[in-house]
Amino acid sequence: MKKVVLSLLVSNHFGVLTRVTNLFSSRGYNIISLSVGETENPKFSRITIVTSDDEAIINQIKLQCAKLEDVKAIKEIKENELYMREVVLVKVRVSYMKQEDFMNFVAANKADAKLIEDRLYMVEICSGTQAIDAFIDKLEMFDIVEIARTGGCALSMSTSTVYDEE
């Protein structure tokens, strides 16, 4: 099993995300995380998919995605040049006794915390997947009310772009 990050340049109109996820479910491919957003060109969106499987299936995923009419280009961002970030929002209730610990914890993790009301905070962090996992683990020493987490979005930390694959 190999975990890969795929970056898809797709037409920016409704239904395109469904076509891509439909392909994954109908062929039994795995989605670990997914994010989608507009690009510098309003005609295109970028979908970032993290998936894992053996080499042959990963290759199939790329070729099958490439056949979709709305997929303009697809690029696997290799691990050595992967720059991926996710955002997590955590609503945390902090007991009066732990207020100081909490403030130190937030500062130490370069997170941001906003007071919603008495002892209830909105904590946010933008980081890599593993760092976010670790951050949430540690945050459990406080009282987590709810979590919202995005999928990863990624670019390659090199001169290569998805447009090279067009």
Partner 1 sequence: MMLNGSQILIQSLIDQGVDTVFGYPGGAVLNIYDALYEKKDQLRHVLSSHEQGAAHAADGYARSTGKTGVCIATSGPGATNLVTGIATAYMDSVALVAITGNVASDLIGRDSFQEVDIAGITMPITKHNFIVHDVKELASTVRLAFEIANSSRPGPVLIDIPKDITAAVCEYEKLPKFEKRPLPSVKESAMKQAIAAIRRAKRPLIYAGGGVIAANACEELLAYSRKTQTPICCSAMGLSSVPYDYELYLGMIGMHGTPVSNYASLNADLVIAIGARFSDRVAGNRKKFANAAEIIHIDIDASEISKNVKSDIAIVGDAKEVLQALIQKVEEEHHSEWRQTLLDFRIKIGLPKPKEGNKVDPRDFIYTLHKLLGEDAIIVTDVGQHQMITAQYYQFSKPRSFISSCGLGTMGYGLGAAIGAKCAHPDRPVVLITGDGSFHMNMNEMAVAVSQNLPIIVLVFNNTVLGMVRQWQTLFYGRRYSETSIMRQTDFVKLAEAFGAKGFRIKERDEIEPIINAALASKRPCIIDCLIDPDDCVYPIIPPGKNADEIIYGN
Residues of this chain that bind partner 1 (CB under 8 A): 15, 18-19, 22-23, 26, 56, 59-60, 63-64, 66-70
**Tokens found for residue 94:** 């902090």
Residue 74 CB, shortest distance to partner 1, in Å, is: 12
Distance CA 102, CA 98 (A): 6
Tokens of 88: 């997590």
81 alpha-carbon distance from chain centroid: 16
Q: Which two tokens stand for residue 2?
A: 């190999």
* Residue type at 97 in one-letter notation: M
**62 vs 98, beta carbon nearer partner 1:** 62
Smallest distance from partner 1 to CB 58, Å? 12
Q: How far is the CB of 63 from partner 1 (least distance, A)?
A: 4
As a whole number of angstroms, the distance between CA 59 and CA 76 comes to 10
User: Do β-strands 153-156 and 112-117 pair in parallel, antiparallel, or remain unpaired?
Assistant: unpaired
**C-alpha 153 chain-centroid distance:** 5
DSSP lists the bridge partners of residue 154 as: 84
| Residue with Cβ nearer partner 1 (68 or 144) | 68
Query: Closest CB to partner 1 among 140 and 166?
Result: 166
Q: Which is nearer to partner 1, 60 or 150 (CB)?
A: 60
> How far apart are CB 76 and partner 1 at their closest, in Å?
15
